[in-house]
Amino acid sequence: MTPRTRRDALVARRESMGYTQESLAEKLGVEHSTVGRWERGTLTPQPWRRPALAEALAVSLDRLDTMLRPRAPMPRPRTRGSTDDAVPVRRGANSPDDLDHLVAHLKDQWHVLLRTDRTFGPRIAMSFARGHLAVTEDLLESAPDRHRRGLVAVAATYAASLSWLCQDAGRMPAARYWVEQAAKWAHEAGDELLQAWCVFRRGSHAADARDAAETIRLAQAAARWKDHLPSPIRAAIAQQEAHGYALAGEELLAHRTLDVAHEFAALHSSGEPRGHGAFCTESFLELQRAHFWTELGKPSRAVALYETALPSLAPAYRRCRGFALGRYARAQLEADLVEEAAHTAEKALVIAHSVGSVRTEREVKHTEQRLRAYPEFALTHQLRRILPAFSARAVPEPEPDGAFPVRPPWTRSDEPH
């Protein structure tokens, strides 16, 4: 990185506010080296750090975004006929060979992303999503008006998926950031399906936080677009509302609402499921019902249902299987099946590590902590011993301070502006 790409405006603003790199780092709670890298242009502040940075520098977020753009390098002189000194030309989105083809390709690749997530989880799928979202944003920077709406919808689609991947990887600040960004793009595109899906994604955050009222409220809010939603999305929204009722201890409402989800899922049961809500198969819904029985204090019923529902889950849904096994272990423990719980938790942990699912790892950790009350069982000691080595957090962090890159590996910018 040469001095010509320094963020000189950022340096000047810091100095004018009386900060050294050390004092600004202390105020923001980051390492001194992080501020230096921001200013050199080798690292971009995380999206969720930017409000605090803007406040410290007394600038608007828009002004901060401008300051974070490094100056473009000056072209180097070329000799006649030489090629090695040629300055790469970045082709704008208003002069592609075929922008319609690029948009169609990005849409097709999103379905590949969904399949990748099912089997390999965020460990592999996150870099896939980041790279394709970065390409979409590059195209958006100079897209002609007639293409912008379609590109914005593609960006919203990838951002919503990236929010989910961050959620599964245990990076909730990033998950919240990307679902809000997806919602903004969905609104700009005027895409009601995507707007509903963004509300659904926020509801999944509430469900993971065990906030019953918020889970129900957001599911019902997403369902307001029901006349414009395909059956897979309506199934997903209904099962989320049912989850909220289970968290609230409303047994009858939980199971009745899950039955509604089953009705929607049955409408798209033929062929390979595609698109938003495709995960909401009848097997998945029965695994949800098993989890509801655990939440409702009936773990024996949960165990019996897990035993029949897990074998019916398609092999491609490996990440989902790992999470279900984590919940199954909890149900077994609550049903006093201690050794079985330890064995199931170990299987869940192996998948969690493989796919990078911190959500699954948390389920296992919760069970492992409760298994400590049973020291007479050898499997409980084994689970405790292997837990650190199989941590799902082994998913490589992109930067030492936890920065969240979105640009593909062939660029140097770490986050979208």
Residue 7: CATH number of its domain? 1.10.260.40
> Once rounded to an integer, what is the mean pLDDT over residues 48-63?
82
pLDDT on residue 87: 36
Distance CA 116, CA 334 (A): 33
- Token pair, residue 310, equals 């897990």
Q: With 90 as the cut, is the pLDDT of residue 241 above it?
A: yes
**pLDDT grade for 391, boundaries at 50, 70 and 90:** low
Q: Into how many domains does the chain fold?
A: 3
Is 371 part of any domain?
A: yes
**Under 8 Å between Cβ of 165 and 392:** no
- 12-26, 90-104, 112-126, 379-393: range with lowest mean pLDDT: 90-104
Task: Tell me, yes or no, whether 293 lies in a domain.
Answer: no
* Structure token pair of residue 291: 């989890």
pLDDT exceeds cutoff 80 at 403: no
Which amino acid makes up residue 169?
Answer: A
Note down the domain range covering 26. 3-67
What's the rounded Cα separation, in Å, for the pair 175 and 169? 9
pLDDT at 88: 37
Q: What is the pLDDT of residue 415?
A: 33
CA distance 297 to 214: 21
Question: 216, 248 in Cβ contact below 8 A?
Answer: yes
Q: Which of 91, 115, 130 is nearest to 315 (CA)?
A: 115
341 versus 15: which is more confidently predicted? 341
Q: Give the C-alpha separation, 199 to 237, whole Å.
A: 10
Cα dist from 17 to 6, 131, 213, 369, 417, whole Å: 19, 36, 44, 49, 23
Report the alpha-carbon distance of residue 94 to residue 170 in Å, rounded: 38
Q: Does 57 share its domain with 113? A: no
The pLDDT, as a whole number, for residue 164 is 97
State residue 91's pLDDT score: 44
Question: Which residue would you say has higher pLDDT here, 369 or 18?
Answer: 369
d(CA 322, CA 345): 9
256 within a domain of the structure (yes/no): no
358-371 and 145-168 helices, crossing angle to 10°? 20
**60 and 121 share one domain:** no
Residue 10 lies in a domain: yes
Phi then psi for residue 118, to 5 deg, are -55, -40
Tell me the pLDDT of the chain averaged across its residues: 84
Task: Say what percent of the chain tops pLDDT 70.
Answer: 84
Residue 294 covered by a domain: no
- CA-CA distance, 87 to 101, in Å (whole number)? 27
Within-domain flag for 7 = yes
Please report which residue ranges of 141-208 form alpha helices under DSSP H: 145-168, 172-189, 192-208
Say if residue 62 is in the same domain as residue 103.
no
Percentages (nearest 5) of helix, strand, coil residues in the chain: 70, 0, 30
Which of the listed residues 67, 88, 122 is the one where a domain comes to its end?
A: 67
Residue 170 contacts residue 358 (beta carbons within 8 Å): yes
Q: What is the pLDDT of residue 406?
A: 40
pLDDT value of position 409: 30
Residue where a domain stops, chosen among 161, 190, 219: 190
Is pLDDT of 3 > 80?
Answer: no
Q: Does residue 409 sit within a domain?
A: no
21: tokens are 């790199």
Contact call for residues 225 and 253 (beta carbons, < 8 A): no
| pLDDT-based confidence at residue 414 (cuts at 50, 70, 90) | very low
Task: Give every CB contact of residue 95 below 8 A, 6+ residues apart in sequence.
Answer: none
- 242 lies in a domain? no
Most confident of 66-70, 102-106, 298-302: 298-302
Query: What average pLDDT score do residues 98-111 get?
Result: 90
* The pLDDT of residue 79: 40
CB 355 within 8 A of CB 123: yes
> Does the pLDDT value for residue 296 go beyond 50?
yes
Residue 77 has pLDDT above 50, yes or no: no
* AA identity, residue 163: S
How confident is the model at residue 210, as a pLDDT? 97
- Is the per-residue pLDDT at 226 higher than 60? yes
Domain end, chosen from 190, 207, 239, is at 190
Kindly tell me if the per-residue pLDDT of 196 is higher than 90.
Answer: yes
- At 283, the amino acid letter reads S
The per-residue pLDDT for 49 is 83
What is the Cα 417 distance to its own chain's centre?
A: 19
- Other CB atoms within 10 Å distance of the CB of residue 130: 22
Nearest residue to 405 via CA among 119, 154, 205, 133: 133
Mean pLDDT across 145-157: 92
Structure tokens at 112: 């590949």
Regarding whether 161 and 109 lie in a shared domain, the answer is: yes
Do 113 and 165 reside in the same domain of the chain? yes
